[in-house]
Structure 1
């Protein structure tokens, strides 16, 4: 595998990162040299005692020694306010039967304590403030997702330890996964005030948005140079994710590269898994009032707690109402979200998880799609609406999901899940802009009548643990699938190409009388079925392996209004193997080498091609990857060297959509997530690519819309020492030069954007209050996301969150 080529932009980027690293090192040194505050401000949520103690040690800069057995199954209460280290320990350890012993400056250990005699208690009570009673709950009574809720907090630098779903294999430790994976946890989603997946991709170390949600198409991301719509929800696949929401999500987990063995048929640009919030062990009442930018005011309620006294059943409810104009002229979002979850531990072995949600999402003035007959010039003014104010899209989405987990015994776990998703799209009006000169463009407005989709996804898996000699096995076998039944109206219409219009400012016209009905007919069915067998083998403390194969079948059918098939069925199957070897020379360092294949349905020629609607043969993707993950202090560092190859599809010079040649991406990526110092948090990543088209008429060219350099850094700095409760935030994103056509005769310049913000934590009538402010694209730069879409303008988001 050869190394990526490096340009002067790479050198500039390296200097930028070196400056950031130098700045972080200086801050780190200053922090280490400063005198530790005797009293400091803490906000550590109630939850698992192990996590709370780790958070306290990280925030206070302590070395804390204890064994897992000492804290297993024990809970802590909320720690909020200004305390000394000793006072903080007293609150967290109340009711645990443990106490903190100071062994040396900044070094503590845990000791078991016995209850004092009644007389001793009486004699000391006059000098000790009585603390609230803390309920200690045994681990088996906790909600199954309580560990996830305690991971990735701001106090932990957004560093997580667990992936909730590595596809069909289920949960795994992040550091031990032999794939490049990353997580955007709930508190980071809240603190950047993410409204859509676009905001999440912006802060993720490796992803970048290619199709914004505001276009009303399904939001897409580009990872390792490949664009994909691949999404899952709680590990269950779905084809698209239109009108996506974030308020009911606990985290977003992203896998880089092909995922065929784990998720089934998909494009090689990674997999994005949206994980729903689960019921909380302690009662949660949280209300947020805010604005996502422009006049997008909203209210969000998040409520959770136990249903019964024993805590075997719990609930979670998220409700959102939003209405108002975005930062783009004449553009508006109006939506309602109601999302609920129930967890019920039916027996000690059987857990039932239920979800239901309703999402009504309306967009007025959807953003335009651009393509050029001439070379791309400077990006249009992003604050202006370059489509039409009456262009719009409406979604009504009802989702039901259920999961059963049965612990048959210590060696066998059975997992089943099913999701049904109803999507009703009453209408959609899109606009496309064709730039015909450096000063003018034409526009077409397209009306599509009502469409409906019924998405199904299911899993039936068994995890079987056994030993062969000294080797330990976790064998996973089972079946998983996802499908889409889609309905459409027979009559769609468009305005034809109109113009030319000036590129100096948008031209708005009256809405024409489109022809189109609301009656739908059954138009087609897509199905992907998968049979999987995988074996996670632990050879010893240092060596392990992950082996598996997935038999994947793709079926696609399409029908005319009369019910006849409009073309022959697309029905293809293939085995997708995967093999990984993992070596841990030290507990904090994991290295791996992996090989994975994926199956992808061939592309379909569009209606303007010389071979309209023709479907290409299935594509096989192959990836080789070597990587390392290291937990250094409170930071998780990752790196990976990879090569991905797949079939190349494009429209040739004869206007024929064809599959010819190979697309090869070689690259290297790095990331850092966590607390660099007591007060400095860093979330950042860098991807360098050498992407080429091989063995086609564009042999040696860079694929379209691929940036060979991509880097970002998001930081937070806690000013608690000077201004208690105040945190400053900011981020910088860099995207390198992209080619705007397959022939590489048109290109888009590199771009740097920056964000800044702050949040302030305080108490209001003894209840935690958090105020947030984020300025996105603070310099209001106009830029191209890719050849088709313009980036977002400057926007200001702010909110107030009260927990009670």
Structure 2
């Protein structure tokens, strides 16, 4: 306890020292890269391009789309341990449920799908687990429909995770961090040239993490997690113009299972947490065991000064066993609640490939930045699932692990599809001030699902255009408008009691209109952005009672539903003064379901009207730096259905974080010691998820980290 109080006291003193941070921001261009600590530039807060936004490193000012780039420099300062903590730096991203040890998100109020909402280096990535972030150079949030470049995806946007690359210079870093619950994380990062001329370069990382959570099972045991990450990437210069990059990573992640907390849905306590806020309703023997491997290669060929070809392939192998107790929601768990143990095995295979040709050329007085390419996804999923007998668990009972085994499932469910698309895009400079972006894509998807002797086929195709206009009144500012579309394929109606049984459903389409502006201020040290957006989704699937019933048909599925999200965003990232750096954003969002007999007029779960975040760094001396940050998430709904409507509300909250880092040198070894306090004021808050699977925000937590750079 003494250590906890002294650490908090130090953190408060650090915050008070940082008060004068907002001094006047005029300075010369030479100050932008002036400060160096541990060999890194403080202005790594600001990044000038996002590889995922245009399938190439085009300047953000020339990108007619709202994009946020979160560099690893910021998340290292925050001692982030998962993707949720990284994405909290963008207010357009809202955390959803963390049920079953996975993290779900929404962008501009639209839920990100695990299968098509995430990319790694531009490859579609199955994200049904807690993403390893230690290997990432930056995370790019591409906002709005991005189907023109990436095919099937949601209307809110995409998250592209860019991994670290090999370096020419030798690098060897060791890191260790821990928190007040006894969690530990060890990291090793080594990179450099493998031969004298530097034509072969490597980077390898190892991370070992043992986490003790603040939440507890009914027997008083804390949830625990054990993770081992290995990563290796090698760049080989085959010629002066051709580089081959190969990559392998493996994540072995085993943890106790948590299906989320419960909120009261009726009565005077509606919206409040049922039971203790640290309670896990799963039984202590429930667990999840995940193993994910990625094997891939990319080839870059500089054909000449103006043209380049890139092609790549990645095979993601995801295997998961989940043994759970299946607790069923009730508002009176103290008197017992229903459980049904199960054992489940899932196997996902994701094979992706792409080829892109990019070139610069002129036609008359027009300059072109041209892209033509194709990509594909070959998907397989297999599931074995065995359930045990239902029972009632009375708190305090000792229920042993069930005798169920997924190997006993003789009726394996399988699903597979392949998806491919062709795209063409041209960014045309009409004058020094005016640019036009035009692009279009054609997609095909073919899907088959099997369960026993039954098979269901579903085919879909879509045309996805994108159009943007950019006006650059100066060299450091731009104003843009864009129009873009997304599509998400839907399955066939498989309920034999549905009036439209065996009908192929059309893809769900999203259409966005956006107007925005981007400015690089203070000698390009600070990037300021703003955007207005309006997104409408059509062909939403709606299932309702079929009255009067015809034969066996008592349901009917149609695609009459719509959804509209509109709002605006503001962002700032970079340097304010010689000593002050900032990254922050805010969003206003109005989100509604429309043309839906069950949901018309309702707001989706976890779509706050207002949200904002800020993280700052104040350099006290060349060796000491202080951080202060805050996250605001407005009032959200934990229900959005026909029976409860939007009646269950999660209150708005503000969470304040802070930190301090001290750097010194020991005989050429650069050392860094960091203390962070998350949720400084121990604020009680409810995070993402519906009332049956909500995540409770963690209280104040102190973290300490030590890093050595040799």
Q: TM-score under structure 2 normalisation?
A: 0.86
Look up the SS of the partner of 2:32 in the other structure: helix
User: Shift of the alpha carbon at 1:195?
Assistant: 1.3
2:48 corresponds, among 150, 153, 161, to 161
Residues of 2 paired with 1:269 and 1:334: CA distance?
A: 33
| Displacement over 6 Å in runs of 4+ | 23-26, 438-441, 603-615, 653-657
User: Shift of the alpha carbon at 1:299?
Assistant: 1.0
Q: In the alignment, is the contact (CA less than 8 A) between 1:426 and 1:518 conserved in 2? A: no
Look up the SS of the partner of 2:621 in the other structure: coil
Match of 2:630 in 1: 731
Match of 1:450 in 2: 345
Q: In the alignment, is the contact (CA less than 8 A) between 2:608 and 2:633 conserved in 1? A: no
Q: In the alignment, is the contact (CA less than 8 A) between 1:350 and 1:406 conserved in 2? A: yes
1:57 corresponds, among 4, 25, 31, to 31
Higher share of residues assigned strand? 2
Q: In the alignment, is the contact (CA less than 8 A) between 1:400 and 1:420 conserved in 2? A: yes
User: Shift of the alpha carbon at 1:282?
Assistant: 1.3
Matched, 1:582 2:484: no
Matched, 1:628 2:602: no
Residues of 2 paired with 1:467 and 1:31: CA distance?
A: 40
Instruction: Write out per-residue CA displacement over residues 541-576 of structure 1, whole angstroms, 9 at most, x where no aligned residue.
Output: 211111111111222211134xx4x34311100101
Instruction: Write out per-residue CA displacement over residues 274-293 of structure 1, whole angstroms, 9 at most, x where no aligned residue.
Output: 11110112110000011266
Report which stretch shifted further, 590-599 or 659-668. Answer: 659-668
1:689 corresponds, among 577, 582, 589, to 589
Residues of 1 paired with 2:545 and 2:659: CA distance?
A: 48
Instruction: Write out per-residue CA displacement over residues 82-139 of structure 1, whole angstroms, 9 at most, x where no aligned residue.
Output: xxxxxxxxxxxxxxxxxxxxxxxxxxxxxxxxxxxxxxxxxxxxxxxxxxxxxxxxxx
Match of 2:5 in 1: none
Match of 1:789 in 2: 694
Match runs of 1:516-555 below 5 Å: 516-517=406-407, 523-555=414-446
1:235 corresponds, among 118, 122, 140, to 122
1:342 corresponds, among 229, 234, 237, to 234
2:75 corresponds, among 182, 186, 189, to 189
Residues of 2 paired with 1:613 and 1:796: CA distance?
A: 55
User: Shift of the alpha carbon at 1:242?
Assistant: 1.7
User: Shift of the alpha carbon at 1:372?
Assistant: 6.3
Look up the SS of the partner of 2:22 in the other structure: helix
Look up the SS of the partner of 1:517 in the other structure: helix
Report which stretch shifted further, 650-659 or 580-589. Answer: 650-659
Q: In the alignment, is the contact (CA less than 8 A) between 2:263 and 2:272 conserved in 1? A: no
Look up the SS of the partner of 1:550 in the other structure: strand
Look up the SS of the partner of 1:757 in the other structure: strand
2:150 corresponds, among 263, 267, 287, to 263
Residues of 1 paired with 2:338 and 2:528: CA distance?
A: 47
Matched, 1:479 2:374: yes
Q: Would the alpha carbon gap of residues 754 and 291 (structure 1) be closer, same or farther in structure 2, given more than 3 Å must change?
A: same
Matched, 1:358 2:358: no
Residues of 2 paired with 1:639 and 1:430: CA distance?
A: 47
Match runs of 1:774-785 below 5 Å: 774-778=676-680, 779-785=682-688
Residues of 2 paired with 1:689 and 1:672: CA distance?
A: 19
Q: Would the alpha carbon gap of residues 801 and 719 (structure 1) be closer, same or farther in structure 2, given more than 3 Å must change?
A: same
User: Shift of the alpha carbon at 1:780?
Assistant: 4.5
User: Shift of the alpha carbon at 1:432?
Assistant: 4.4
Report which stretch shifted further, 346-355 or 374-383. Answer: 374-383
Look up the SS of the partner of 1:706 in the other structure: coil
Match of 1:107 in 2: none
Residues of 2 paired with 1:203 and 1:546: CA distance?
A: 28
Match of 1:9 in 2: none
Q: Would the alpha carbon gap of residues 472 and 428 (structure 1) be closer, same or farther in structure 2, given more than 3 Å must change?
A: farther
Instruction: Write out per-residue CA displacement over residues 26-79 of structure 1, whole angstroms, 9 at most, x where no aligned residue.
Output: 7434787xxx9xxxxxxxxxxxxxxxx96x612659xxxxxxxxxxxxxxxxx6
Residues of 2 paired with 1:430 and 1:223: CA distance?
A: 32
Match of 1:401 in 2: 296
Q: In the alignment, is the contact (CA less than 8 A) between 1:769 and 1:801 conserved in 2? A: yes
Match of 1:595 in 2: 483
Q: In the alignment, is the contact (CA less than 8 A) between 1:708 and 1:738 conserved in 2? A: no
Match runs of 1:64-143 below 5 Å: none
Structure 2: segments with no counterpart, 5+ residues: 1-16, 217-221, 547-554
Matched, 1:617 2:503: no
Q: Would the alpha carbon gap of residues 651 and 427 (structure 1) be closer, same or farther in structure 2, given more than 3 Å must change?
A: same
User: Shift of the alpha carbon at 1:447?
Assistant: 2.1
Residues of 2 paired with 1:522 and 1:685: CA distance?
A: 44
1:318 corresponds, among 182, 187, 205, to 205
2:273 corresponds, among 358, 379, 385, to 379
Match of 1:419 in 2: 314
Q: In the alignment, is the contact (CA less than 8 A) between 1:163 and 1:253 conserved in 2? A: yes
Matched, 1:699 2:600: yes
Count of residues in correspondence between the two structures: 662
Look up the SS of the partner of 1:198 in the other structure: helix
Instruction: Write out per-residue CA displacement over residues 213-250 of structure 1, whole angstroms, 9 at most, x where no aligned residue.
Output: x7323x22111111113101111112434231011111
Look up the SS of the partner of 1:200 in the other structure: helix
Look up the SS of the partner of 2:214 in the other structure: coil
Q: Would the alpha carbon gap of residues 522 and 685 (structure 1) be closer, same or farther in structure 2, given more than 3 Å must change?
A: same
Residues of 1 paired with 2:669 and 2:576: CA distance?
A: 30
Match of 1:215 in 2: 100
Match of 1:308 in 2: 195
Look up the SS of the partner of 2:705 in the other structure: strand
Match of 1:327 in 2: 214
Residues of 1 paired with 2:439 and 2:24: CA distance?
A: 49
1:755 corresponds, among 657, 660, 668, to 657
Q: In the alignment, is the contact (CA less than 8 A) between 2:458 and 2:491 conserved in 1? A: no
Q: Which has the higher contact order (CA 8 A, sep 6+)?
A: 2
Residues of 2 paired with 1:470 and 1:515: CA distance?
A: 69
User: Shift of the alpha carbon at 1:211?
Assistant: 2.9
Residues of 1 paired with 2:340 and 2:402: CA distance?
A: 9
Look up the SS of the partner of 2:451 in the other structure: coil
Match of 2:708 in 1: 802
Q: TM-score under structure 1 normalisation?
A: 0.76
User: Shift of the alpha carbon at 1:744?
Assistant: 2.4
User: Shift of the alpha carbon at 1:674?
Assistant: 1.3
Instruction: Write out per-residue CA displacement over residues 257-301 of structure 1, whole angstroms, 9 at most, x where no aligned residue.
Output: 211102110112211111111011211000001126622212110
Residues of 1 paired with 2:593 and 2:672: CA distance?
A: 50
Q: In the alignment, is the contact (CA less than 8 A) between 2:356 and 2:371 conserved in 1? A: yes
User: Shift of the alpha carbon at 1:518?
Assistant: 7.0
Q: Would the alpha carbon gap of residues 691 and 80 (structure 1) be closer, same or farther in structure 2, given more than 3 Å must change?
A: closer
Residues of 2 paired with 1:678 and 1:385: CA distance?
A: 47
Instruction: Write out per-residue CA displacement over residues 734-780 of structure 1, whole angstroms, 9 at most, x where no aligned residue.
Output: 23332522322333222222222222222233311111222223314
Look up the SS of the partner of 2:88 in the other structure: helix
Look up the SS of the partner of 1:783 in the other structure: coil
Look up the SS of the partner of 1:399 in the other structure: strand
Residues of 2 paired with 1:423 and 1:385: CA distance?
A: 26
Greater Rg, structure 1 or structure 2? 1
User: Shift of the alpha carbon at 1:413?
Assistant: 1.2
Residues of 1 paired with 2:543 and 2:497: CA distance?
A: 8
Structure 1: segments with no counterpart, 5+ residues: 1-22, 37-52, 62-78, 82-149
User: Shift of the alpha carbon at 1:367?
Assistant: 4.1
Match of 2:3 in 1: none
1:713 corresponds, among 614, 629, 645, to 614
Look up the SS of the partner of 2:456 in the other structure: coil
Instruction: Write out per-residue CA displacement over residues 366-404 of structure 1, whole angstroms, 9 at most, x where no aligned residue.
Output: 343657653743135443323222221111112111000
User: Shift of the alpha carbon at 1:315?
Assistant: 0.7
